[in-house]
Copies of this chain bind each other. A is one copy, B any other.
Amino acid sequence: MKIDTVFDALGSTPRRKILAYLSETSLTAGEIAERFDMSKPALSKHLKVLENAGMVKSEKKGQFVHYSLADQNMLATLHSFLTTFCPVGGPLKREGAAIARARRKAT
């Protein structure tokens, strides 16, 4: 699961609202579409983005598709996010550190 897809998924107000709406109970695609006064196809697309990002899961029951949050992935994602900004970090972070070191030597 790519962290970028998660942030892209979150970078949309309608999708954040969908997530909040799903936070208490699972809902069918139709129930969500009705709540947000949005066409079903538009909603279907948002749900797919969220599902690709691993933030939502779906289960087909008869002709209905029930959507719900995939919590544990959310937490893993947030952890990954925090490690970028707070403690250890990726290559770019190390690059920044190298610049800071070079500066201390220079002055």
Q: How far is the CA of A78 from the CA of B92 in the complex (A)?
A: 22
Give chain B nearest CB distance to A38 CB in angstroms. Answer: 14
A76-88: contact bitstring with B at CB < 8 Å (1 yes, 0 no)?
0010011011100
Q: List 23 A-B contacts (CB under 8 A).
A: A4-B13, A8-B11, A8-B13, A10-B11, A11-B11, A16-B84, A17-B92, A19-B85, A20-B84, A20-B85, A20-B92, A20-B93, A21-B96, A23-B96, A24-B93, A24-B94, A24-B97, A25-B99, A27-B96, A27-B99, A74-B85, A78-B81, A78-B82
Interface size for A (C-beta < 8 A) is: 39
A91-107: contact bitstring with B at CB < 8 Å (1 yes, 0 no)?
01111110110010000
